[in-house]
Structures are given as C-alpha cells and as structure tokens.
Amino acid sequence: MPNFDIETAIIISFILGVILPMVGIGGIISLIIMGFTVTYLTQPEITSYKVGGIATGIFSIFFFFFGFITPPKLPYILPNPLSLGVLIAFSGILNLIFSLIVSIIIYVGFGLLGGFLAEKFFMGENEKKQRFNLKQRRTLKRA
C-alpha cells in the first residue's frame, strides 16, 4: 500500500471524486471508489475504513455548498416565499437542513463501504498485526 498521510489521501480522492463524474462514472460507484482510494492510499499504521467515510463526508459538504453557487434552471419565475407566508420559508429551511444531514449520512455510508472493501482485500496480515500492536497501550499497575 502507498504511504500517504491522511490529508494527502483525502485531497487525492477529492480530486478523483470531481473527475469521475466528468468521465461518466458517477453516483454511488464514484463514492465507493473515493472511499476505496483514500483507504488504500493511507499509511498502513493509521489506515481504517473510517478514513473513507471522512473523505466522502467532506465531499458531501462541498457538494452541498456547491449547489448554492449553481442555481437550477427553472421554466418559470417562482413566487416570493415571504409573500406566501413565513411558515413556507421556515419549512424550506428545515428541508435544507434535513437534506444536508441525510446526504452526509448517505455519502459517509458509501465511503465506509469503499474503505471496508480496500481494507478487506488489500491489507496484508503483517499490516493488520502491525496496526494491532500500535493500538495496545502499556499501563502501570499500582498496588
């Protein structure tokens, strides 16, 4: 496995996540590939499937805020929500917050799946033992 830091691996997978939809591979498959690559690229001592979830979670937040910059193409002019009532504007804000939470959960789930696949198929027995030994701590027993 390559020996990149977590931050570098996340940046590489982030760039890959932007490039894959341009090539024609998008949706769930691109999220799994992102989680797979970030887990594969991290150092064996610190790698985990959770790194894939973190990378796709960051990508989800980026993609959510990118949606504010690019407005949708609408065939007509929508009425002002404040003219319809304050509760309609409030429900829109609630829908926005819930959609952010649900999208983060979905993206992180598929990133975890990709990270798990990379860890399962490409992590050797020596790397598993080495990672396990780093997690053990020595304690001083006092009487």
Indicate whether 47 belongs to any domain.
Answer: yes
> Is pLDDT above 60 for 129?
no
Q: pLDDT at position 15, please?
A: 92
Backbone φ and ψ of 4, nearest 5°: -100, 155
Task: Grade residue 56 by pLDDT with cuts at 50, 70 and 90.
Answer: very high
Nearest Cα neighbor of 34 from 72, 60, 71, 68 is 60
In whole angstroms, give the CA distance from residue 59 to residue 13.
9
Kindly tell me if the per-residue pLDDT of 68 is higher than 90.
no
Task: Give Cα separations from 5 to 54, 62, 77 (angstroms).
Answer: 14, 21, 48
Q: How many domains does the chain contain in total?
A: 1
Inside any domain, residue 14: yes
pLDDT band at 72 (very low <50, low <70, confident <90, very high): confident
pLDDT for the residue numbered 92:
80
Asked if the structure places residue 55 within a domain, the reply is yes
pLDDT category of residue 99 using cuts at 50, 70 and 90: very high
pLDDT in tens, 11-37: 999 999 999 989 998 889 999 999 999
**Residue 119 resides in a domain:** yes
Which domain covers residue 49, as residue numbers?
6-73+103-132
What's this model's pTM, rounded to 2 decimal places?
0.76
